[in-house]
Structure 1
Amino acid sequence: MTGYLAFGILGLCALVATVPSRSFPPNADPLSDEFIDYINSLQTTWKAGRNFQKDVKYSYLKGLMGVHPGSASVKLPVKPHEEINAEIPEEFDSRKEWPDCPTIGEIRDQASCGSCWAFGAVEAMSDRICIHSKGQLNVRLSSQDLLTCCSSCGFGCNGGFPGAAWNYWVNKGIVSGGSYGSKQGCKSYSFRPCEHHVNGTRPPCDEPSDTPDCVKKCQKNYNVNYDQDLHFGKKAYSVSGNERAIQTEIMTNGPVEGAFSVYSDFVQYKEGVYQHVAGSMLGGHAIRILGWGVENGTPYWLVANSWNTDWGDNGYFKILRGRDECGIESEISAGLPK
């Protein structure tokens, strides 16, 4: 996907004082071993490693960044947290807090499509449906349905608006559906998992794909029709950039969808608490925030990505908390199930 700009609400990444001030070698390829070695030479709060093959096209990486610059214009009402929880623990992990909700611990794969905006939304919605049913209702909402049928959400595989996705859940509803080939639910994801990364068994990834047509029909052998399978939200809202407000929202209602500005160093993340140290802007990316903690004295958000389990720390990453790192605290979308 081309034409990315740093959208206003996702400001420049803030570096903590411990990061040395060094210039990135001007001729180094962001997918090169030299770039990885440079990041690790800074000895900051995280370590880099090879996630993508050296010959992956830069256009492919940019195509994974599916938060469209226009998303800033889609504003959800800010939920007031008048009584911010005074007993916020040092660590919180939604997977442990709600063990009867298996979707919380799942990592999905957006494949060759800039659909992160849809994935971050349906993942958090699915989690919240289970949480608010006290573990009685486990449903995987369909990223395919949201991606292809929400005309107000943006441009499908070419980027979308997280806030609009949550409004769509309330106003139109979303059917169930699992990953590619799973035959789970009404509409499974149509993009085959591909090998974004190294040493994998999946087929190679292609350039970003076109968005499929919206088909309001369930897949064969699913015994519920489309309209009957729709799941609705009761309300959609955003959460202010206040750290404690975000923590209170997650503790109370479950994981949220967040969006942040991605730089080329992020794609090399392997472990530790990420903060931007080098490289150019790739675009905006949507993810799901599960909790928080502190690692070696550095506060972090615990985040699930949608680039399959081969990327990063088994599909997860940690990012600096409390400094609005790369805008991670500036665009939080959420809602409640009906």
Structure 2
Amino acid sequence: QRERSQQPRGSCCCCFLDIKSLFSLFQESLNRHRYLNSFSHENSTAFYGINQFSYLFPEEFKALYLGSKPAWSPRYPAAGQTPIPNVSLPLRFDWRDKHVVNQVRNQKMCGGCWAFSVVGAIESACAIQGKPLDYLSVQQVIDCSFNNYGCSGGSPLGALSWLNKTQMKLVEDSEYPFKAENGLCRYFPRSQSGVSIKNFSAYDFSDQEDEMAKALLNFGPLVVIVDAVSWQDYLGGIIQHHCSSGEANHAVLITGFDKTGNTPYWMVRNSWGNSWGIEGYAHVKMGGNVCGIADSVSVVFV
């Protein structure tokens, strides 16, 4: 039986598990790691084990942390898409090297990945234009994006569409701090300083990841939606297999790529804190649309 006693929100879940449930959870965790690590003989470098999510059963992990919902998915009309200039691709590129990407943030027990990815892209777009690299308010997007569901999930495209239509100014995080729960939307006077977007474009790059890399170089970090069910146990290496749920469920931000080794990969900034994965990042193989990483790609213009 997978039963948990009632516990206060944000408390140590393991402290409230009975011995039988704790053993069942630990055994299931080890079985997952054994299965996921069994692909290592197929030139896969990804490895899996105990991390901060090991106390959760997979269905709990998905309910708490995989809150992105695709919208207008997966195909987008060519009309309205910003053309991508043709550029030569370097072997390696990372916007972090340009000091235009903020540190990894932590969505905690709030399914707001869709808001974190969009706000991260806007922060970088501003910095690429020479403006200060500020932390903008994710909570403002969670509370005010009326076509999404706050900490219960949402769509990056829905958030971008809302920002574009309303021309809402995002204020700094210090002005409207993250609370990891839904709240009432706070409104600010028009004179309030903030950042509004000029436009956005959505693409399907499922068969053309080199074009996707060109979009990254030309426009800035990319908002993408992936199948991240197996990321619960990820510790490091390049993810090449076992994206098995068959649906997009998590929004992240691609900041770069690396083609210098035997397996080229995307550098993917997550929102689960810097203790997860590779200092808060995942490396996902380029080519083959691994985890559906190229199906739903958005860029933002400020």
Listed as ranges, the matches of 1:76-95 within 5 Å are: 77-81=80-84, 83-85=85-87, 87-95=88-96
The aligned residue for residue 284 of structure 1 is: 249
The aligned residue for residue 259 of structure 1 is: 225
CA change 1:323–1:148 in 2 (3 A) is same
Count residues with an aligned counterpart.
Answer: 270
- 1:175 matches 2:170: yes
- 1:159 matches 2:125: no
Q: Deviations along 1:202-228, whole A, 9 cap, x unmatched? A: xxxxxxx5x2221225xxxxxxx5751
Query: Is contact 1:266–1:276 with CA below 8 Å preserved after alignment?
Result: no
User: 1:155 deviation in Å?
Assistant: 1.3
Listed as ranges, the matches of 1:185-196 within 5 Å are: 186-191=175-180
CA change 1:141–1:53 in 2 (3 A) is closer
User: 1:105 deviation in Å?
Assistant: 4.1
Listed as ranges, the matches of 1:57-68 within 5 Å are: 57-62=57-62, 63-68=64-69
Match of 2:118 among 110, 118, 121: 121
Aligned residues: CA RMSD: 2.6
Query: Is contact 2:74–2:295 with CA below 8 Å preserved after alignment?
Result: no
The aligned residue for residue 134 of structure 2 is: 139
CA distance in structure 1 between the partners assigned to 2:225 and 2:90 by the alignment: 24
Deviates more, 1:71-80 or 1:29-38: 71-80
CA distance in structure 2 between the partners assigned to 1:251 and 1:302 by the alignment: 13
Q: Normalising by structure 2, report the TM-score.
A: 0.80
CA distance in structure 1 between the partners assigned to 2:33 and 2:293 by the alignment: 23
Give the match's secondary structure for 1:174. Answer: coil
Query: Is contact 1:291–1:301 with CA below 8 Å preserved after alignment?
Result: yes
Identity of aligned residues (%): 25
Give the match's secondary structure for 1:106. Answer: coil
Give the match's secondary structure for 1:317. Answer: strand
Q: Structure 1 unaligned runs (5+)?
A: 1-26, 179-183, 192-208, 218-224
User: 1:315 deviation in Å?
Assistant: 0.4
Which amino acid in the other structure matches residue 64 of structure 1?
A: Y
User: 1:28 deviation in Å?
Assistant: 9.4
Which amino acid in the other structure matches residue 215 of structure 2?
A: E
Give the match's secondary structure for 1:52. Answer: coil
CA change 1:78–1:30 in 2 (3 A) is farther
Q: Deviations along 1:169-224, whole A, 9 cap, x unmatched? A: 3233232233xxxxx2x211112xxxxxxxxxxxxxxxxx5x2221225xxxxxxx
Query: Which protein, 1 or 2, shows the higher relative CO under an 8 Å CA cutoff with sep ≥ 6?
Result: 1
The aligned residue for residue 220 of structure 1 is: none
Query: Is contact 2:66–2:249 with CA below 8 Å preserved after alignment?
Result: yes
The aligned residue for residue 196 of structure 1 is: none
CA change 1:251–1:226 in 2 (3 A) is same
Give the match's secondary structure for 1:151. Answer: coil
Which amino acid in the other structure matches residue 284 of structure 1?
A: N
